[in-house]
Chain A
Amino acid sequence: MEITDLIYKIFIKDGAWLTISKGLWATVQISALSLLFGTILGSIICFFRVGKIKPLKIFAQGYISIVRGSPVLMLLMLLFYGVFARSGLDPITVAIITFSLHTAAHVAELLRSSLMAVDRGQVEAARTLGFSKIQTFKLVVLPQILIIAKPVFQSTVINLIQWTSVVGYVTITDLTRVINNIASRTMQPMITIIGGMIIYLALSYTVQWIFHLTDKQRGGETK
């Protein structure tokens, strides 16, 4: 079979699969760490955004609108070739910083919208029943936010994985870059790119599967 030969030559031969796995690892590494830091930072920004301290609120508003409103590649180029150009920071670190900042804006916004979706009356009721502010948040508001935010958060994660495909611009060899390199070397872009898409698809499915597992742990309560 000619096509199987071709696929073997493109994706397996001479350790090509190992190079692809290394690229995949770079993608996973950047995505996972950015997700972690982005979620933490996003929660803090959301806290500022809905809080009562005026300057922090304005800062959070500005941050969210600037970062959400500009392409992540611009931010990445700006940070790598501008702000951190002479700092000697590892490109992967700069990429993680960029994507954390970017994810934070999205997470802050999705948390705020989930927060708004929680019935205000429940908070008042809990407070009347003698719950402290912290107890109200922990026992009444937070469990509901988690359920509301989950599907949107899941799509943010999947989006994040795809956004990371631009890191080739800052000297990182990620999955997209490996696929492009292979396409150039083998001169078979169609098959190579379809192969790359299937790997990204598998990654997205893995994320969905992980989210699905957490559903089961809570007794499959998502609707």
Chain B
Amino acid sequence: MKKLFTLMLMLLVAASFTGCGGGGGTTTENQTSSTTKIGILEYLNTNEQQFTGYVKKIVGNYSINIPNPQEYKFFSNLTSMQMALEAGQIDEMSALLPVARYMVDRNPKMQILEDYMTTGTNNYTKDGQALEFANDFCLAFTTQNTALKIAADAVVADMNKDGTLAKLTQTYITDLKANEEPAPVAFENIEGAETIKIAVTGDLPPFDYVNAEGKAAGFNTAFLAELGKRLHKNIELVKIDSGARAAALTSGQADVAFWTVVPVSQVIPANADKPDGIELSAPYYRSAIVHVALKKN
């Protein structure tokens, strides 16, 4: 018992040290280094150097003025990226606007940067410019599943037309209050209908998260419930690590997964984040990308 206690104590001390060390690191980093390190969720078919090059080119194309050269670092999930930010390994993290809002609501240490990407959050729609700084939400299918993709496309178009998507966006994203978590939607069970398996990761609140009771929740699940109803299919949620989505699709362990893509780009190749053999549905949501950083003392 005494040994256990000592060990716990050591662990706590170690943890607080890392906290301090990390914090100290940030300040020196900002003073000495001239590059801004930016964390971003990883792209499958490109590497950090290439991606840094793409952004440099985009920034040049739109003659956006940024003070320091940027360097992009890839992370496999939001949690590790957030920890890197807290420890000072990166200076900023690139995140979808609703995710960033969700983050700063719950973690008072963070703030959304008011830089060129955030001033006027709808900047990206002006003359179709800088669409690189936005992400479209799509459903991913294998190329063998084209029939389902076409059906899903039709449903997305319908939901867009009758305002269902706008309503869902309002409930689950725009009107979401700080520290509020909407209850998970109930999926209807359609007797005798075919079941499709859809992979959710729980890694991207408020779109996709797992609530305290262990149920998948968020905007994506609400969208799925509606999709299932209109496709007349039962939906089975498969909870999976985001890194295993492509494997789950190609092996048939899941029929559909969520994917985000850059809507239009002259610079970033279309397959930068899309493996071969996978095709994407029409987008059902578009989000701006913003940068999150630690608050300065």
Contacts and interface: CB of A to CB of B under 8 A. Distances in A.
Nearest to B102: A187
Contact of B15 (A81, A86, A181, A194): A194
A195 B213 CA distance: 18
Contacts of B241: 168-169, 177
Given A173-B214, A187-B107, A180 B11 contact: no
B247 interface: yes
B252 A86 contact: yes
A170 B250 CA distance: 13
Interface string A78-95: 001110011000000000
B19 A184 contact: no
B46 interface: no
Contacts of B27: none
B107 A188 contact: yes
Interface string B147-160: 00000000000000
A188 B110 CA distance: 11
A185 B240 contact: no
Interface stretch (A15-23, A54-62, A149-157): A15-23
- DSSP class of A's interface residues: helix, strand, loop or mixed? helix
Given A22-B214, A187-B103, A187-B107, A80 B209 contact: no
Given A185-B209, A189-B83, A198-B8, A180 B106 contact: no
Interface in B1-29: 4, 7-8, 11, 15, 19
A177 B253 contact: no
B244 A169 contact: yes
B135 to A, nearest CB: 17
Interface string A180-217: 11111111111001100110010001000000000000
B98 interface: no
Given A15-B212, A194-B11, A168 B253 contact: no
Contact of B212 (A14, A77, A82, A198): A14
Interface stretch (B112-120, B197-205, B224-232): B197-205
B82 A189 contact: yes
B52 interface: no
B11 A185 contact: no
Contact of B247 (A14, A77, A187, A194): A77
A190 B294 CA distance: 15
Contacts of B83: 189-190, 193
Contacts of B277: none
Interface string B221-262: 000000000000000001111011001101111000000000
Contacts of B4: 205
B210 interface: yes
B79 interface: yes
A201 B251 contact: no
Nearest to A194: B15
B211 interface: yes
A181 B4 CA distance: 27
B95 to A, nearest CB: 11
B79 A171 contact: no
Contacts of B86: 189-190
A81 B11 contact: no
A56 B213 CA distance: 49
Given A77-B247, A181-B202, A197-B11, A188 B106 contact: yes
Contacts of A189: 79-80, 82-83, 86
A135 B99 CA distance: 68
Contact of B239 (A18, A173, A188): A173
**Which 8 A-B residue pairings sit nearest by Cβ, starting from the closest?**
A14-B212, A19-B214, A81-B251, A181-B210, A85-B251, A187-B106, A16-B212, A168-B241
Interface of A: 13-16, 18-19, 22-23, 77, 80-82, 85-86, 168-171, 173, 177-178, 180-190, 193-194, 197-198, 201, 205
30 contacts: A13-B212, A14-B211, A18-B213, A23-B214, A80-B251, A81-B250, A81-B251, A168-B241, A169-B241, A169-B243, A170-B240, A171-B248, A173-B214, A173-B239, A178-B210, A180-B202, A182-B210, A184-B77, A184-B209, A185-B205, A185-B209, A185-B210, A187-B82, A187-B102, A187-B106, A189-B80, A190-B83, A190-B86, A194-B11, A205-B4
